[in-house]
């Protein structure tokens, strides 16, 4: 069997796509899986690292202001749909999956115009533009939140949860501490601002380095590529205190295993991973997203007593007060951990691939 999985742009799209591919391959080891991404975007690196082939299209998103790139947008879409059509005719997939992001649009347009079974996976509580535009063309739409009929045809919806790599929850703590050169006697804080980094979290963390060192807390700080050079210099004086800045954490299973508390944005993938790993967390929703959907994601946990919320505008003052208070309270960490585990959907990837195989069979 042959599958095309399209989309990307951020880790929130790429890692669910890889999880779906892994489940397909687990069921059918000889399945042929081809990813389609956007040239210049992070999927062109991350997907091959996961062991899959990828083809890039010359497609970009619309800018929010009038730019020369926007004037060229219709031309790029036309060329990308034509290129996607040629790719589909050559590869002849049994089904196509779109996970959101620029590249999924031309692929799904080309696939649905040829009658190929197609499925969308929407990660967020507020649907992305590409997925909303293509909803009526595809066969099924797998979602992670209730109430998504306000964006999609209700008869196509399946509530599955978000697909995440199941191995993310299987990291061994002893191995993790050795891997990251951490002290088993100290508390560990993990800071993740998404695959591209988060300015607010990075600025707050840089300012808090002396407090962390004084409190005897060690740090795994994923900064993102743009912020890494400065962050590396900022943590250099604290190397003996095990404060580490990392551009990107490939072994997130070990990062979660090492962490006592996590500071994170509230993207859909991050929230799903926190639920599956059962980590006590302080969530700082990004304000730069459609319809403030990260706050909605965070409140889904906070309302159940499963996480702590600090707004982006208050992070500079409150974030590390809340975090150090939580790190000093093992009983509260345990409560948050137990409650967040109750919200996990560990079978999400299985359910999505079930739907995909059902479409092919039908």
Tens of pLDDT, residue by residue over 7-33, are 887 777 898 999 999 999 999 999 999
Residues 177 and 146 reside in one and the same domain: no
CATH number at residue 71: 3.40.50.2000
Tokens of 157: 């919806």
Question: How many angstroms separate the Cα of 345 from the Cα of each of 18, 39, 174, 275, 341?
Answer: 17, 32, 26, 8, 9
Is 294 annotated to bind a ligand? Reply is: yes
Is 273 annotated to bind a ligand? Reply is: yes
Tokens of 61: 């998103």
Residue predicted with more confidence, 28 or 292 = 28
**Residue 72 confidence (pLDDT) above 60:** no
Is 271 annotated to bind a ligand? Reply is: yes
Residues 115 and 182 reside in one and the same domain: no
Residues 267 and 154 reside in one and the same domain: no
**Residue 184 confidence (pLDDT) above 80:** yes
Residues 231 and 264 reside in one and the same domain: yes
Mean pLDDT of 213-224: 97
Q: Kindly report the average pLDDT of the chain as a whole number.
A: 92
Give me the torsion for CA of 84, 88, 89, 92, rounded to 10°: 180
Residues 303 and 205 reside in one and the same domain: yes
Q: Which structural domain range is residue 225 located in? A: 167-341
Strands 118-122 and 140-143, sheet pairing: parallel
**Residue 70 confidence (pLDDT) above 60:** no
Q: Are 6 and 97 in contact (CB under 8 A)?
A: yes
pLDDT at 11: 72
Number of domains forming the structure of the chain: 2
pLDDT at 262: 98
Is 310 annotated to bind a ligand? Reply is: no
- Rounded-to-integer distance, Cα 30 and Cα 332, Å: 47
Q: Are 262 and 188 in contact (CB under 8 A)?
A: no
Crossing angle (nearest 10°) for helices 315-327 and 330-341: 100
**Residue 327 confidence (pLDDT) above 60:** yes
Residues 89 and 208 reside in one and the same domain: no
Confidence band for 179, pLDDT divided at 50, 70 and 90: very high
pTM > 0.75: yes
Residues 178 and 327 reside in one and the same domain: yes
Q: Are 268 and 275 in contact (CB under 8 A)?
A: no
DSSP string, 202-226: HHHHHHHHHHHHHHT-EEEEE--TT
Neighbours of 339 (CB within 10 A): 17
Is 270 annotated to bind a ligand? Reply is: yes
Burial of 341 (0-12, 13-18, 19+ CB in 10 A): middle
pLDDT at 126: 84
Is 269 annotated to bind a ligand? Reply is: yes
Residues 122 and 189 reside in one and the same domain: no
Strands 95-98 and 118-122, sheet pairing: parallel
pLDDT at 171: 95
pLDDT at 80: 83
Is 355 annotated to bind a ligand? Reply is: no
Residues 217 and 134 reside in one and the same domain: no
Is 247 annotated to bind a ligand? Reply is: no
Is 53 annotated to bind a ligand? Reply is: no
Residues 152 and 191 reside in one and the same domain: no
Confidence band for 283, pLDDT divided at 50, 70 and 90: very high
Return the half-sphere exposure (C-beta side, CA atoms, 13 A cut-off) of residue 32: 6
Residue predicted with more confidence, 72 or 120 = 120
Task: Identify which of 284, 286, 285, 294 has the alpha carbon closest to the alpha carbon of residue 323.
Answer: 284
Strand partners, 222: 192, 246
Mean pLDDT of 288-306: 90
**Residue 297 confidence (pLDDT) above 80:** yes
Is 122 annotated to bind a ligand? Reply is: no
Percent of the residues in the chain that have a pLDDT greater than 90, as a whole number: 77
CA angle in degrees (0–180, nearest 5) for 23-141-51: 30
**Residue 69 confidence (pLDDT) above 80:** no
Tens of pLDDT, residue by residue over 102-153, are 789 999 999 999 999 999 999 988 888 889 999 999 999 999 988 899 999 9
Is 96 annotated to bind a ligand? Reply is: no
Confidence band for 215, pLDDT divided at 50, 70 and 90: very high
Is 342 annotated to bind a ligand? Reply is: no
Residues 355 and 322 reside in one and the same domain: no
**Residue 197 confidence (pLDDT) above 80:** no
Is 116 annotated to bind a ligand? Reply is: no
Q: Are 42 and 195 in contact (CB under 8 A)?
A: yes
Mean pLDDT of 25-52: 93
Helix (H) or strand (E) holding 351: helix 348-361
Q: Are 180 and 244 in contact (CB under 8 A)?
A: yes
Confidence band for 67, pLDDT divided at 50, 70 and 90: low
Is 165 annotated to bind a ligand? Reply is: yes
Residues 181 and 312 reside in one and the same domain: yes
């Amino acid at each position: 069997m042959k599958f095309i999985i399209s989309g990307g742009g951020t880790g929130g799209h790429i890692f669910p796509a890889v999880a779906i591919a892994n489940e397909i391959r687990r069921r059918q080891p000889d399945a042929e899986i081809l990813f389609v991404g956007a040239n210049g975007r992070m999927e062109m690196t991350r997907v091959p690292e996961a062991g899959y082939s990828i083809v890039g299209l010359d497609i970009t998103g619309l800018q929010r202001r009038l730019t020369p790139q926007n004037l060229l947008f219709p031309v790029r879409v036309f060329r990308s749909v034509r290129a996607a059509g040629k790719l589909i005719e050559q590869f002849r997939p049994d089904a196509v999956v779109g996970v959101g992001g620029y590249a999924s649009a031309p692929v799904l347009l080309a696939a649905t115009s040829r009658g190929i079974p197609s499925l969308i996976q929407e990660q967020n509580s507020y649907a992305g533009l590409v997925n909303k535009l293509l909803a009526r063309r595809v066969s099924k739409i797998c979602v992670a939140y209730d109430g998504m009929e306000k964006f999609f045809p209700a008869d196509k919806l399946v509530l599955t949860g978000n697909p995440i790599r199941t191995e993310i929850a299987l990291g061994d703590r002893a191995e993790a501490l050795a891997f990251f050169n951490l002290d088993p006697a100290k508390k560990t804080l993990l800071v993740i601002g998404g695959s591209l980094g988060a300015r607010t979290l990075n600025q707050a963390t840089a300012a808090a380095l002396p407090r962390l060192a004084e409190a005897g807390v060690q740090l795994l700080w994923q900064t993102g590529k743009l912020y890494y050079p400065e962050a590396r210099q900022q943590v250099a004086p604290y190397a003996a205190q095990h404060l580490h800045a990392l551009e990107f954490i490939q072994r997130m299973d070990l990062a979660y295993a090492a962490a006592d508390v996590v500071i994170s944005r509230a993207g859909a993938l991050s929230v799903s991973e926190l639920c599956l790993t059962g980590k006590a967390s302080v969530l700082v929703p990004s304000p730069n997203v459609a319809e403030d959907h990260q706050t909605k994601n965070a409140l889904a946990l906070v309302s159940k007593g499963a996480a702590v919320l600090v707004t982006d505008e208050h992070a500079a003052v409150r974030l590390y007060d809340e975090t150090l208070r939580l790190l000093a309270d093992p009983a509260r960490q345990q409560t948050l951990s137990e409650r967040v585990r109750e919200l996990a959907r560990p079978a999400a990837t299985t359910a999505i691939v079930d739907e995909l195989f059902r479409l092919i069979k039908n």
